[in-house]
């Protein structure tokens, strides 16, 4: 993934009626099957791509107002994962790579929080004879697949589509982003917990300037950095493991661009309200 893609990603809440071409969807689906892993190659998620806008609007109806006049996109990514703490980091890491791939394909995206039980309920209804699976799902979905999801969780969905070019939609989208402070990115220094005690190298400054452009599924920007003699530790506020996985995806892309191998040594430490995930060497 090229570093130049990161600044292009924006959270889009207003989408055009233009359908996403089959070839483009096929590229996303293929990429989702080969997403990079944060560390555990055994972890694989179930990615469901839906492409029926009416069905997507029905699915997300209760989220429209809470996300500020959200308009359903023509495509939706529903990622399911095993209900285990460490999996959440991997989940955010992998799904954000798909989001950046969509950005590379000139598509707009938006992370949204969803209720697992509600999503499963609508998916259950979709397995009835009322629907033609092929009219809704890009990836295979049937009754057996639904059963396989019983013990998996879904707490985020990703809207995917072409941003609306209508002037009013652009105005509304920008106003919403300002209201939820999506534009108010924290400066690099504010996410470093010991910046007064350790010097920040110029290369790490550049890396973090790109990493903080990561989206936060809960609009919190909860990630934190602790400088060390060999590099830095990465962590985040307790309960924001998916967001930290998203942030680490951006970290990896930026480090590789600036010629720094990405290798993370996992450790567990809680200090105050920060849950530390691992240590990354910079030398």
pLDDT tens digits, one per residue of 20-46 = 999 999 999 999 988 888 875 556 788
pTM of the predicted protein model: 0.90
pLDDT at 133: 66
* Category of 31 on φ-ψ map: left (φ > 0), alpha (ψ -120 to 50) or beta: alpha
Residue 137 has pLDDT above 70, yes or no: yes
Q: Helix crossing, 22-32 with 85-104: angle to 10°? A: 150
Asked if 279 and 198 count as a contact pair (C-beta separation under 8 A), the reply is: no
Mean pLDDT throughout 63-91? 79
* Beta bridge partner(s), residue 232: 227, 280
Find the range with the poorest average confidence among 15-19, 92-96, 106-110, 166-170.
166-170
Residue 239 has pLDDT above 90, yes or no: no
- Burial tier of 105 (Cβ tally within 10 Å: 0-12, 13-18, 19+): middle
Secondary structure letter of residue 5 according to DSSP: G
Residue from 117, 108, 115, 223 nearest 158 by CA: 108
d(CA 76, CA 52): 9
């Amino acid at each position: 993934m090229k570093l130049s893609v990161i600044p292009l990603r924006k959270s889009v809440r207003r989408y055009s009626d233009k359908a996403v071409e089959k070839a483009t969807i096929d590229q996303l689906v293929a990429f989702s099957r080969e997403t990079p892993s944060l560390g555990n190659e055994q972890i694989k998620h179930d990615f469901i791509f839906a492409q029926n806008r009416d069905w997507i609007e029905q699915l997300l109806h209760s989220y429209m107002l809470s996300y500020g006049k959200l308009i359903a996109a023509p495509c939706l990514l529903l990622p399911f994962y095993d209900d285990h703490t460490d999996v959440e980091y991997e989940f955010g890491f992998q799904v954000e790579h798909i989001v950046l791939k969509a950005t590379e394909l000139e598509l707009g995206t938006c992370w949204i929080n969803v209720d697992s039980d509600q999503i499963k309920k609508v998916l259950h209804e979709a397995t009835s004879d009322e629907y033609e699976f092929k009219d809704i799902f890009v990836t295979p979905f049937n009754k057996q697949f639904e059963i396989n999801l019983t013990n998996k969780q879904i707490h985020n969905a990703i809207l995917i589509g072409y941003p609306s070019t209508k002037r009013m939609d652009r105005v509304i989208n920008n106003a919403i982003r300002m209201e939820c402070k999506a534009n108010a990115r924290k400066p690099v220094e504010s996410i470093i917990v010991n910046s007064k005690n350790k010097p920040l190298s110029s290369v790490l400054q550049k890396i973090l300037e790109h990493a903080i452009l990561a989206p936060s599924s809960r609009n919190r920007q909860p990630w934190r950095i602790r400088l060390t003699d060999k590099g830095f530790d990465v962590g985040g506020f307790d309960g924001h493991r998916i967001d930290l996985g998203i942030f680490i995806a951006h970290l990896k892309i930026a480090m590789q661009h600036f010629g720094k191998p990405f290798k993370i040594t996992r450790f567990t430490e809680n200090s105050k309200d920060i849950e530390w995930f691992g240590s990354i060497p910079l030398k």
